[in-house]
Amino acid sequence: MYRHLLVPLDGSELATSLVTQAVAFAQGLGARITFFTMRNDYGATSEGALARTLSPAAFAEASLGEANAILAKARAAAGEAGVAAEGVARVGHRPYELILDVAAECACDLIFMASHGRRGLKALLPGSQTQKVLAHSTLPVLVATVEVNAPCVAGEAAIGIVKDEHRAIAAVCTGLRQQAALARSGGEVDVALLTSMLHYLRVFPETLHHPKEEQYLFARLSARTDGFDEQLAELEGQHDEGGVLLAELEARATALHAAPGDASALAALGEAVERFVELQWRHLNIEEKLILPAARQHLLAEDWAEIEQAFRDNARFAREGETATAFRQVFSRLMNQTQP
């Protein structure tokens, strides 16, 4: 049976669904996953050539793109399920060739992928690329989903968005734990990076994600059944507690900035990170394993339509023009700084 899956990703909603399917498939087999995504060759474009000359730092950041962000969220999903996973990003312009190369290099025994099923998309894996993988691969290829054949259901779309946001939160929490490990070992904590991660958590989960959960997902589930009211109250309490712990983390980061290398400040930071991250893991676990399945069972089509729209419309909770696109860019920058 298959022991090592290669899962190509492109950052689309289809890829978010593919990660969920691949992780469940690998978990059932006891297999591990290598997630792969392609970076466009920014340096080969006229814009990239100009950026390289005018601002090497900006060029370096733009060259990284969203690849590390895509892979970080996929690894977070695998880690939550206890599936061993790693991520690989390569620069190129022929996705199918890179997919086959990475599958061979990593000794994968199955390529587990999706197809958009139509031409002309900007995504990295349009149907033609999937067809080329099928035509040239010597390994088995499982096309788990074809987008044009998949039913367009608001519930599945909404759940996909919620899970993608959960994976982003989990990936940032992993970055926090990396800094906490440095603090405990006496290493040099990157206070600027730490502060950026805390800012992301403040303006994304606290301002966008949690309010949408409470106002839409939790409220609609509570209206349809009282069987989960205790758990929903616990989750809302965890939202409040998370805000308090985040404020403590922000204070610890400020103290460390004022006294770099101070042993007591480092220890306090490490402890604060662990309290915050442990709460997030418990919180996400309840939502993913209990609340989302319950919502699938009890909510109606009109509920899901409202929830989907709410989670797509980040602007209603955004402040001063911070849009969903801006948050993705911030997240990408953070993951580029925290990933090797």
Instruction: Select from 102, 122, 149 the last residue of a domain.
Output: 149
Question: What pLDDT is stored for residue 48 in this prediction?
Answer: 44
Q: Is 222 exposed, middle or buried (0-12, 13-18, 19+ CB in 10 A)?
A: middle
SS3 per-residue string spanning 173-229: HHHHHHHHHHHHHCCCCCHHHHHHHHHHHHHCHHHHHHHHHHHHHHHHHHHHCCCCH
Q: Say whether both 78 and 166 belong to one domain.
A: no
Question: What pLDDT is stored for residue 92 in this prediction?
Answer: 82
Average pLDDT, 10 consecutive residues per value, the chain (340 residues): 94 86 96 92 50 48 67 90 93 89 97 72 54 91 71 78 90 89 85 89 89 96 96 97 96 92 89 95 93 95 92 55 55 66
Q: Which of 79, 267, 64 is nearest to 182 (CA)?
A: 267
Q: Which alpha helices (DSSP H) does the chain contain, by range?
A: 13-29, 46-54, 56-64, 67-80, 95-105, 127-136, 154-185, 191-203, 210-212, 219-224, 229-258, 263-286, 292-298, 301-312, 324-338
**Please, which residues have CB within 8 angstroms of residue 182's CB and are 6 or more apart in sequence?**
188, 189, 190
Note down the domain range covering 104.
4-149
Instruction: Select from 134, 149, 164 the last residue of a domain.
Output: 149
Q: What's the number of CA atoms in the CB half-sphere (13 Å) around residue 128?
A: 8
Q: How far apart are CA 191 and CA 257, in angstroms?
A: 6
Q: How far apart are CA 118 and CA 321, in angstroms?
A: 34
Question: What pLDDT is stored for residue 314 in this prediction?
Answer: 54
Q: Say whether both 123 and 186 belong to one domain.
A: no
Q: Say whether both 121 and 203 belong to one domain.
A: no
Q: Say whether both 252 and 164 belong to one domain.
A: yes
Question: What pLDDT is stored for residue 121 in this prediction?
Answer: 39
Question: What pLDDT is stored for residue 65 in this prediction?
Answer: 61
203 neighbors 168 (Cβ within 8 angstroms): no
Q: How far apart are CA 291 and CA 233, in angstroms?
A: 12
Domain count, the chain: 2
Cα-trace Rg, the chain: 21
CATH for 297: 1.20.120.520
**Please, which residues have CB within 8 angstroms of residue 43's CB and are 6 or more apart in sequence?**
49, 52, 59, 63
Q: Say whether both 117 and 164 belong to one domain.
A: no
Q: How far apart are CA 249 and CA 29, in angstroms?
A: 39
Q: How far apart are CA 123 and CA 128, in angstroms?
A: 11
Instruction: Select from 101, 125, 149 the last residue of a domain.
Output: 149
Q: Say whether both 123 and 210 belong to one domain.
A: no
Q: How far apart are CA 108 and CA 115, in angstroms?
A: 20
Question: What pLDDT is stored for residue 324 in this prediction?
Answer: 52
What pTM does this model have?
0.74
CATH for 112: 3.40.50.620
H/E run at residue 141: strand 141-146
Q: Say whether both 274 and 137 belong to one domain.
A: no
Question: What pLDDT is stored for residue 80 in this prediction?
Answer: 87
